[in-house]
Structure 1
Amino acid sequence: MRPSPAEDELAAVAARAARRVAGVARLEPGLSGLASEVTRSALRSVGGVGGGGHGGGPAAAEGVRVRVDRSARPPVLRVSVDLIVSGRDQAAAVARAVQRAVRRAVADAAGSAPCSAAVSVSVLGIEPEGRDLR
């Protein structure tokens, strides 16, 4: 299922927040992110469907997925962040900092909409020291 424009916008907000955290070398699309990108590319080539245009587009949120769980009361924003950390930092500490920063950023972006945010962070790798590409 294609994310709604609001989900795309929140994913871009979450990605910006994650990139600002010290120790994040870069965001990476995990396997589900790669599958989503392949689907978006196929849809764009068929007829311009599935492109960005809101919230900075898919590239702005690469490595981040947002889904709104409307079955929960109040609704829950489920945010997944896939990233590579710098070899100079402790991966667990960076992941916790990303989790806090993303939760704060999406709550601010959601404004008065009553919801909570569940943020999961997957560290897919550690960038060798001296190769921080952020």
Structure 2
Amino acid sequence: MTGQEREPDWDVEPPVLAAIAARAASRVVGVQRLQSGLVGLTGAAIRAVRQRIADVDPAPTEGVRIEVDDTTGSVDVEIDLTISHFEQAAAVARAVQHSVHRTVTDATGIAPRNVSVNILDADPGTAV
């Protein structure tokens, strides 16, 4: 590539990043389910209406929010979830952060700047 040529522009939309992150998080041992907080519920409702109008089957993104910094292009991922065992909260959160960062980077070439995990509930009666 010479100095005159530009790389082609491409974009990975936030719903695609969210679906990849949701799949990665849900596969971590100890994660019982992803769940939306209040902010996530509003976004999910709006997205569902748009997809219903477009007659599109959405990839599951419940419990995942993506923020893209328009200036730098950096991506932040926030995940709300319920874990299986309360005693494993920190270990599960670290595993989710690692899995989401690795999977999003491998699938898109975009390395998230930050992966935040919010544990909203713990179900100690569920085995890991």
Alignment of 1:107-122 (within 5 A): 107-111=105-109, 116-122=112-118
2:75 paired with 1:77: yes
What's 1:14 paired with?
A: 21
Q: Letter of the aligned partner of 2:21 in structure 1?
A: A
What's 2:4 paired with?
A: none
* SS in structure 2 at match of 1:128: coil
Change (3 A) 1:41 1:18: closer
The percentage of counterpart residues that share the same residue type is 42
Which structure 1 residue ranges, 5 or more long, are not aligned?
A: none
- CA shift, 1:35, in A, is 1.1
Q: Letter of the aligned partner of 2:91 in structure 1?
A: A
Pairing partner for 2:42 from 35, 55, 58: 35
Which structure 2 residue ranges, 5 or more long, are not aligned?
A: 1-10
Change (3 A) 1:52 1:93: farther
- CA shift, 1:94, in A, is 0.4
Deviations 1:23-48 (A, max 9, x none): 00100011111111233345567xx1
2:73 paired with 1:66: no
Number of aligned residue pairs: give it: 118
Stretches of 4+ moved more than 6 A in 1? none
* SS in structure 1 at match of 2:113: strand
- Given the two structures, how large is their TM-score scaled by the length of structure 1? 0.74
- Which structure would you say has the larger Rg? 2
What's 1:127 paired with?
A: 123
Tell me, in whole angstroms, the C-alpha distance in 2 between the residues paired with 1:14 and 1:66: 9
Query: Is the CA contact 1:64–1:81 (under 8 Å) kept in the aligned structure 2?
Result: yes
Tell me, in whole angstroms, the C-alpha distance in 2 between the residues paired with 1:116 and 1:83: 19
- Given the two structures, how large is their TM-score scaled by the length of structure 2? 0.77
* SS in structure 1 at match of 2:39: helix
Change (3 A) 1:7 1:52: farther
